[in-house]
């Protein structure tokens, strides 16, 4: 693959000035929120995936796989609702992750309208189940007890002991094969609040990507002004790719945190393989990719791999050099660092580079402002008349080199109806136009129409 891009094939299975974002998708009705909670490894993420009809949440036999709150959309009997998957709730653990996961669970409970409390019939009632039940009673919200892993008549009998939790009637389900989930959802939908009548637009998606421990989650938390994602000094803290709606200072879009992408040779475990796959998919489904670098480590090979992965998928790109407050600076440090990055990413050098600090919030809103501008560049449409009036004189003044005495004449050009900027130039002998001249035309398009941060494709076709 060009530029040394490593691919991870899937295994079989600021300013207050408002910047308008063009909306491309249909309008959806605003929905109620249902949270799935419980202790670790009872099958919450499996149930979440079944309800949203996609494998968004990572599922593994290891407890503690889910860490951050994970959002999705579901519907049942014509009612649409938002669904929150949470990490396993644990009391009294010294594990730094467990403490942070508990905080995320409590935030999800506070946010939810209805709660599904998942327990494991094969383990019976445990002390941690009692702790979660007490937490839910204090929350005083509609709660449905789902006894999971009930896939036989014998286990139906075993489920009776869960009356001891004091939450009333329970629902026996198997989140793997779906049995019993229909009855559970019938009951959940009945308790959902009425639709507010407010509409919610499906928004552009900006993903924050980079190597492990570059500061991606810290950057998003700083933007949101809350601890939306768990942050530690341990590489690999974030596992799932998680969306958050950002609506501040006139900007509105979905902001996606992703797991750090390591070199394929260093990915040893299935769990990490799937976290990397989620991050690669996040890039594929994004409109703009915000590549976060660790300034103390510089611009390394894996940063370059991620950059070209985004470019190959024709995404808008903004490079954020994080932890800039930790770098010793001289007069030309910024210029030298920026020049080094642009040298590495040649020939696609028309990319904004912002030096930030997520910890001190230095230039983080400038980063968002720039990402919005890149999105607008990506969705920009140039009128055919304006394109021809600008480009044809340039081509006439600097035509393609002749080939064996034959001259290429370009008569017309137009922007193609594609999601990213692509242009067709119609000529008598398009086969004689070489790559250097294509890059010349691309550079002239960038000079005249501002496609900063966006890959541009140029085609020469037979007129």
Task: Please list the pLDDT of the chain residue by residue as tens digits (463 residues).
Answer: 333 333 333 333 233 333 444 433 333 334 688 888 888 778 888 888 888 776 544 444 434 444 445 667 788 888 888 787 776 565 444 444 455 555 667 777 777 888 899 888 888 888 888 888 888 888 888 889 999 988 887 788 888 888 888 888 899 988 888 888 889 999 998 888 876 544 455 678 888 888 877 777 788 888 876 554 444 444 444 444 455 666 665 667 677 766 655 444 443 444 344 445 556 677 777 888 888 888 888 888 878 888 888 888 888 999 999 888 888 878 888 999 999 999 998 888 899 999 988 888 888 889 888 988 999 999 999 999 999 999 999 999 998 888 888 888 988 999 999 888 999 999 888 888 888 999 999 999 999 999 999 999 999 988 7
Q: Is residue 198 one of the residues assigned to a domain?
A: no
pLDDT of 33: 83
Q: Both 263 and 207 in a single domain? A: yes
pLDDT of 209: 84
Q: Both 45 and 182 in a single domain? A: yes
Q: Both 244 and 123 in a single domain? A: no
- Binding residue per annotation — 211? yes
Q: Is residue 24 one of the residues assigned to a domain?
A: no
- Residue after which a domain boundary falls, among 361, 379, 397: 379
- Residue after which a domain boundary falls, among 156, 191, 226: 191
- Binding residue per annotation — 215? yes
- Binding residue per annotation — 258? yes
- Binding residue per annotation — 323? yes
pLDDT of 159: 87
- Binding residue per annotation — 213? yes
* CA-angle at 256, arms to 252 and 260, nearest 5°: 155
- Binding residue per annotation — 148? yes
Q: Both 344 and 371 in a single domain? A: yes
- Binding residue per annotation — 411? no
- Binding residue per annotation — 44? yes
Yes or no: say if 317 and 293 are a contact pair by the CB < 8 Å rule: no
- Binding residue per annotation — 322? yes
Q: Both 320 and 374 in a single domain? A: yes
- Binding residue per annotation — 210? yes
- Binding residue per annotation — 409? no
Yes or no: say if 459 and 410 are a contact pair by the CB < 8 Å rule: no
- Binding residue per annotation — 141? no
Q: Both 343 and 437 in a single domain? A: no
Q: Both 255 and 374 in a single domain? A: yes
- Residue after which a domain boundary falls, among 130, 157, 191: 191
Q: Both 250 and 222 in a single domain? A: yes
- Binding residue per annotation — 49? no
Q: Is residue 391 one of the residues assigned to a domain?
A: yes
- Binding residue per annotation — 168? no
- Binding residue per annotation — 9? no
Q: Both 241 and 146 in a single domain? A: no
Q: Both 52 and 187 in a single domain? A: yes
Please state the domain count of the chain.
Answer: 3
pLDDT of 277: 59
Rounded to whole angstroms, the Cα distance separating 148 from 131 reads: 18
- Binding residue per annotation — 324? yes
**Residue for token pair 């501040």:** 248
- Binding residue per annotation — 335? no
Reply yes or no: is the peptide bond before residue 347 cis, omega within 30 of 0. Answer: yes
- Binding residue per annotation — 72? no
Q: Both 83 and 168 in a single domain? A: yes
- Binding residue per annotation — 40? yes
User: Dihedral of CA 170/173/179/182: which sign?
Assistant: positive
- Binding residue per annotation — 118? no
CATH number at residue 398: 3.30.300.20
- Binding residue per annotation — 216? yes
pLDDT of 226: 57
Yes or no: say if 317 and 456 are a contact pair by the CB < 8 Å rule: no
CATH number at residue 294: 3.40.50.300
Pairing of strands 114-120, 79-85: unpaired
- Binding residue per annotation — 333? no
Write out the residue range of the structural domain in which residue 338 sits: 203-379
pLDDT of 237: 41
- Binding residue per annotation — 42? yes
Report in angstroms the alpha-carbon separations of 457 from 147, 337, 401. Answer: 54, 28, 20
pLDDT of 279: 60
- Binding residue per annotation — 325? yes
Q: Is residue 197 one of the residues assigned to a domain?
A: no
Q: Is residue 25 one of the residues assigned to a domain?
A: no
- Binding residue per annotation — 305? no
pLDDT of 339: 92
Q: Is residue 68 one of the residues assigned to a domain?
A: yes
Q: Both 374 and 248 in a single domain? A: yes
């Amino acid at each position: 693959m060009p530029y040394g891009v490593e691919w991870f094939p899937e295994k079989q299975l600021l300013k207050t000035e408002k910047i308008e974002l063009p909306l491309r998708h249909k309008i959806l009705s605003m929905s109620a929120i249902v949270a799935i909670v419980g202790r670790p490894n009872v099958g919450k993420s499996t149930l979440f995936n079944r309800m949203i009809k996609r494998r968004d949440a990572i599922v593994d036999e290891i407890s503690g796989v889910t860490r951050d709150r994970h959002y999705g959309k579901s519907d049942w009997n014509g009612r649409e609702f938002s669904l929150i998957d949470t990490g396993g709730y644990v009391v009294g653990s010294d594990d730094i992750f467990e403490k942070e996961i508990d905080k995320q669970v409590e935030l999800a409970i506070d946010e939810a309208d209805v709660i599904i409390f998942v327990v494991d019939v094969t383990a019976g009632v445990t002390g941690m189940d009692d702790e979660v039940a007490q937490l839910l009673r204090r929350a005083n919200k509609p709660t449905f007890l789902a006894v999971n892993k009930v896939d036989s008549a014998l286990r139906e009998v075993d489920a009776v002991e869960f009356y001891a939790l004091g939450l009333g009637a329970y629902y026996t389900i198997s989140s793997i094969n779906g049995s019993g989930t229909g009855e559970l959802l019938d009951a959940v939908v009945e308790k959902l609040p009425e639709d507010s009548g407010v509409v919610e637009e499906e928004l552009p998606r900006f993903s924050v990507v980079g190597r492990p421990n570059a500061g991606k989650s810290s950057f998003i938390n700083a933007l949101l002004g809350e601890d939306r994602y768990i942050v530690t000094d341990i590489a690999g803290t974030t596992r799932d790719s998680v969306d958050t709606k950002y609506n501040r200072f006139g900007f509105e879009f979905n902001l996606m945190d992703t797991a750090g992408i390591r070199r394929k040779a260093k990915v040893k475990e299935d769990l990490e393989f799937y976290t990397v796959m989620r991050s690669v998919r996040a890039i594929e489904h994004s409109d703009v990719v915000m590549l976060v670098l660790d300034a103390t480590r510089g611009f390394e090979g894996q940063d370059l791999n991620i950059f070209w992965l985004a470019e190959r998928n024709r995404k808008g790109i903004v490079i954020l050099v994080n932890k800039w407050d930790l770098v010793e600076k001289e007069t030309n440090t910024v210029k030298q660092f920026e020049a080094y990055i642009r040298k590495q990413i040649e020939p696609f050098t028309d990319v904004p580079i912002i030096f930030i600090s997520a910890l001190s919030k230095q230039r983080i809103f400038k980063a968002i402002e720039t990402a919005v501008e890149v999105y607008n560049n990506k969705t920009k449409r140039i009128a055919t008349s304006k394109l021809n009036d600008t480009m044809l004189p340039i081509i006439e003044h600097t035509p393609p080199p002749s080939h064996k005495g034959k001259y290429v004449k370009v008569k017309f050009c137009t922007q193609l109806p594609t999601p990213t900027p692509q242009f067709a130039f119609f000529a008598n002998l398009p086969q004689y136009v070489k790559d250097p001249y294509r890059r010349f035309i691309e550079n002239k398009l960038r000079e005249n129409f501002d496609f900063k941060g966006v890959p541009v494709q140029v085609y020469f076709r037979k007129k």
